[in-house]
Structure 1
């Protein structure tokens, strides 16, 4: 039975309320005292992008920089020497790299995250030491791993809008819905993401999810495999993968499987990565994690797509190996 609009709205609300405490320190090589600077502390939304923090970080660390002329957009962030991609939402980065144990709602409440209890979604604060400790750098930019930002913020905007267009094309077989948005709506969408305004976001996003005269074809889904999972899947990976190497896997996910049954997260993962997810029903070797939660394999993919997608329209599912 599909979730009611009220339950969908409740889950979306809790996802938007999810946040992480961050402790960000200036890299020693960029600090004029060659020592730890004072830490920048912030409670930051899981759905937001770290790029939006760069002006505040630059202002905070300006007095400690060896090179006071360095621009705010030249910053990049890392966790344990792993550069963090600007165009990944914070929550996805945390699920991929922090090592935090995901919340298991089935164990806690006996309900799945779409049709049942939502109380624990995106609020797993006890699994690893908090806050999440990151480092901001202003030199030695890893251009082979990160796209540099620009002064006007156009790079980040383009990356986000391109992802929204891709998700729209996957859903409908055409991107004309997002391409047909007015300039005012397009501006509102990015403004809502930057200011973390759910009401403003939904005023535009609902037009993308419910285009007149179109039927939903596929669910936008991206699966993120760490190196260990890629090896299990016998995927081709670099001979010497860089620290934090992640492989992104995509395939078209229709609303139903061949038998006519609704597509679940388990059927989608099994068809896409059968060696990592040999069972459609149980996470035997790995578990799918979304917004910090270990999602039940029987969760309806269409319901997940409507209630639990990130702001770019995708379900960004991190794979966490078991054992």
Structure 2
């Protein structure tokens, strides 16, 4: 039986190995045989990005397209008519939109048990690109790369109060970081990630956390408590909330998920210890309010360095 010291490495490994089965169908309006094309099936990493799948999806459906010469960059993926944002990792999109009940920490009898998961049924579209909701990708992958790197830089600045660690990466390290994302290769990713998490001579200042709330969630009454970064109210729209989160409280106790949520969203998390109105979901699992935010940042962040947490209202 593994001891407490093994928990961070186990969490990191489980996070890295997490994947979601996808069943991607071609929009009947783009299909020359209407709805007779076979679905594209794949088990895809939770930490990765749908944009990296576009060349393979395009190649799979090219023989079924009404306009076979349409470029892969014209494609966009949706779930129940909601365009899925390219810069959101697959796991976050799944936690936000799939409607699947999140998991809870297993007890000793359940640990290691394999649970069957139904494929997430998505649709790929090659027409009527929703430019008002999605940035358009390019053939060379530069747009997706830039979206990712911008998030990495923002997380780095929050952690350290300076963007020096990520800006000081060598060209080789920078290329290796992006290659590790494209290939989903932990051997390539971990050395660069450790340089960013543990820069020499820089103390950890703040923890990069973003909270994603459905628009149906109540607004906070305190002005300036949180930043709303998705103001449009359209199908699938969200409120993206973030605030400076310190590693410890004024009492020098570690910052927990419960204390952070109570500070940022007190109307949804009135208690620091007990779930009342909503729960925080990361990588498909409900976070215990007692979990250390710093430990989660170090062991369970997404590839861009952020804890992207979905806030799910209780029924």
Instruction: Confirm or deny that 1:244 pairs with 2:240.
Output: no
Task: Please tell me whether residue 142 in structure 1 is matched to residue 140 in structure 2.
Answer: no
Q: For residue 109 of structure 1, give the secondary structure of its aligned residue in structure 2.
A: coil
Tell me, in whole angstroms, the C-alpha distance in 1 between the residues paired with 2:268 and 2:56. Answer: 41
Partners of 1:200 and 1:320 in 2: CA distance: 34
TM-score, normalising length from structure 1? 0.90
Deviations 1:82-111 (A, max 9, x none): 100011110000000001111111xx328x
**8 Å contact from structure 1 (residues 285, 321) kept in 2:** yes
Aligned counterpart, 1:201 = 189
Once the two structures are superposed, the pairs formed by residues 154-173 of structure 1 within 5 Å of their partners are 154-173=142-161
**Which residue pairs with 2:163 in the alignment?**
175
Residue in 1 that maps onto 2:87: 87
**Match of 2:63?**
63
Q: Distance in 1 between matches of 2:27 and 2:206?
A: 43
Is the 2:54–2:72 contact (alpha carbons within 8 Å) kept by the matching residues of 1?
Answer: yes
Give the gaps of 5 or more residues in structure 1.
Answer: 111-116
Paired residues for 1:1-323 under 5 Å: 4=5, 6-105=6-105, 108-109=106-107, 119=112, 125-126=116-117, 130-229=118-217, 231=218, 233=220, 241-323=233-315
Q: What is the aligned residue count? A: 307
Deviates more, 1:282-291 or 1:35-44: 35-44
C-alpha separation in 2, matches of 1:207 and 1:307: 14
| C-alpha distance 86-214 of structure 1, shift in aligned 2 (>3 A) | same
C-alpha RMSD of the superposition:
2.1
> Could you tell me how far 1:237 is from its partner in structure 2?
10
Q: Deviations over 1:216-259 (max 9, x none)?
A: 00110000001122x35469899982111111101010011122
Q: Distance in 1 between matches of 2:49 and 2:91?
A: 9
Q: Is the contact between residue 24 and residue 40 of structure 2 (CA under 8 Å) also seen in structure 1?
A: yes
